[in-house]
Each structure stands twice: as structure tokens, then as C-alpha cells.
Chain A
Amino acid sequence: MKFIKFLLLGIVFGIVMAKSEAISWFRIQEMFRFQAFHMYGIIGTAVTLGVIGVALIKKFNIRDFHGNPITFFPKDKSIARYLIGGTIFGLGWALSGACPGPMVVNIGYGFLSMIVVFFFAIVGTYLYGVFMKKLPH
């Protein structure tokens, strides 16, 4: 039962991603060609509200529902891993038109060919785990 809230949040996430068309390959192409504001509007609104909200959480030491302080862990300092990893991610994002969240929303929507994309995303993560020691971080 303690997981039901995460199920509900996931359902809302899936509906919003589908109804905003952020799961559409066409929308991702439109974004990378800078031919519409739509995707930038979605991400920009989320980040703007996110920055304000995170600043308020820190300023007022807001606690979570367990009563623990909400803490944010700074990400490890590096350039190589974020730039190289991010670039590889971007190549895949533009080609398949989906990042991991939208992949599974697409499967639910009925685009079953996304199962292939999602399966190989798992394989990609596995290959990273195998070769990570040999990669610059």
C-alpha cells in the first residue's frame, strides 16, 4: 500500500507526457530543429518552477512526510562524463525520439515497437556497467 502514491504519480506522469505530446518523435525533431516553442515551454516551465521550489525548500528547511529534512546531494564534479555521456544520450534521444520515461509511456500508449527501444536501453545500461572502468569520468 505504501507504493500506491508512486503508482498514482507515475500514472499522472504518463498521462501528462502523452497529452503534452512530449513522447512524440515528431515533437523531439521539432525541438532539435528549433522550429517550435512547445518542448522548450514544457522543460522551461518545469525548470523555472523547480528552481523556485528547491530554493524555498532549502530556505525554509522543509521536511518530507517522514519528518526528515529534504536534502539535495551535489553531483560529482567532472566534465568528461557529463559531456561524453550526455552527447551519446543526445544521439539516441534524437534517433529514437524518446528518453527512458517516454519510452515506457509509448508502450502503454500502444506503440509496441518501443519495447525494442526500451529493451536495448537496458542493454546499453548493462554495457556501461561492464565497461565503466575503461571510460573517462
Chain B
Amino acid sequence: MRELITQTWAWWFSGAMIASIMFFLLYFGQSFGFSSNLRTICAAAGLGKKTKFFDFNWKAQTWNIVFLIGSIIGGYIASQFLSQGAPVDISAATINDLSKLGIAAPESLQPNELFGLEAVFSLKGFLILAFGGLMVGFGSRYAGGCTSGHAISGLSNLQLPSLIAVIGFFIGGLAMTYLIMPLIF
């Protein structure tokens, strides 16, 4: 039983749980979309005084900020009580490809070369994290949603705009993986 919890959870179980979360949010009168929180945080920080996009009734989004806080707690629970610190069991082909970029085989969930303290406090490492975040934040709002809002909620509602956005996610992701990362890593 303990083994079942501490190992990697099956894709079908995880996918079903994510769909369930979306339906619970609909049942509670809301919708599943995580990146909206980024706009809400800007509004709560008072940026709406100068920029109209952040001038809205952000307090109505409190439920989503609470969901965000919950997901931080969930991550903490998963690492402290539900894991044994096993490395991610990615495919041999991926390990081989990443070694050519200077990323060693997994020792935990994340590569030390990108997320270790040494990386964060180096100029190049910091810029990688900063630009990664910047593009996610800018792109998700430009596209009107992220993985949860478009790929899960939008596709579930058969929205063509969401399909276009997901195609965009892959154009960008493939360009970064195959064209840009070999240049900057």
C-alpha cells in the first residue's frame, strides 16, 4: 500500500483526478484556469491604478488564490509525506538527449543544473529561470489561458481557440527544445 502511494502515480489516475478537480470547480460555480491568478496578483498589488487591464474586481477571484495556496500545500505534503525522493524515471532516450545539453540523468524531480542554488545565483542560470517565467506569464495572458484554461477546460468544451492555443504551446515548446536550448545550454 505504501509503495502504491510513494511511487509515481499512474497517468490514467492523475488525468482522472485533474478532470475531477475541473468538475468540482464547475460544481462550485467557478472554472479551472490557473494563470488568471497572475493577473489577480498584479491587481491586488495595486497595479490597476496605472494599467487598466489590472483594474477589476479582483476580490471575486479570491477562491482561485485560495486554490493556489492549496496547491503549494499539496506540493509540500507530496514531498514530505508521499515520496521517497526517487529520481524521475524518464526514458533512456530523453536521458541521452539531455546529456548532450549538459543535463545529467535525474537525481530527483528537477535537474540541479537549472534549479540548484548554484544555478540560481549564476547570471546565466538566473536569466534562464527569469526568461522562462517571463514568457509563461506573458504568453498565457496573451493567449487568454494556460494548460489548465486552454488544454483542459477549453478543449473539454471543444473550443477551437483553445486548440489553436495548444498548437501554439507545441510550436513554442518544440522550437525551444530543438532549436534554442542547444544554443543556450
Least Cβ–Cβ distance between A5 and chain B, in angstroms: 6
Known pairs A86-B164, A89-B143; A18 contacts B26 (CB<8 A):
no
**Helix, strand, loop or mixed for chain A's interface?**
helix
Q: Is the CB of B111 within 8 A of A26?
A: yes
Q: Is the interface of B mostly helix, strand, loop or mixed?
A: helix
Given contacts A30-B91, A99-B136, A108-B73, contact A121 B78 (CB under 8 A): no
A26 lies within 8 A of B109 (CB): yes
Task: Note all chain B residues with C-beta closer than 8 A to A95.
Answer: 128, 131-132, 135, 176, 180-181
CB distance from B97 to the nearest CB of A (A): 6
Q: Is there contact, CB below 8 Å, between A121 and B168? A: no
Tell me whether B136 and A98 are in contact (CB under 8 A): yes
List which A80-113 residues lie within 8 A (CB) of chain B.
81-101, 103-111, 113
For the complex, give the distance between the alpha carbons of A49 and B14 in Å: 12
B116 at the interface (CB under 8 A from A): yes
- Total interface residues on B, using CB and 8 Å? 118
User: When A and B form their complex, what is the total count of cross-chain residue pairs whose Cβ atoms lie within 8 Å?
Assistant: 479
B133 adjacent to A91 (CB under 8 Å): no
* Residues of chain A lying within 8 A (CB to CB) of residue B54: 126, 129
Verify B71–A17 contact, CB threshold 8 A.
yes
| Residues B133 and A89 in contact, CB atoms below 8 Å apart | no
Give complex CA distance A44, B137 in Å: 24
CB interface residues, A 28-46, toward B, < 8 Å: 28-33, 35-39, 41-46
Q: Do residues A75 and B161 form an inter-chain contact, with CB atoms below 8 A? A: yes
Per CB-CB distance, the 7 closest pairs between chain A and chain B, nearest first, are A14-B74, A10-B70, A86-B168, A90-B172, A45-B15, A124-B137, A96-B132
Name 13 interchain pairs, CB-CB below 8 A, sorted by A: A21-B8, A24-B110, A70-B26, A82-B164, A82-B168, A89-B169, A90-B168, A90-B176, A99-B35, A100-B35, A105-B74, A120-B134, A120-B137
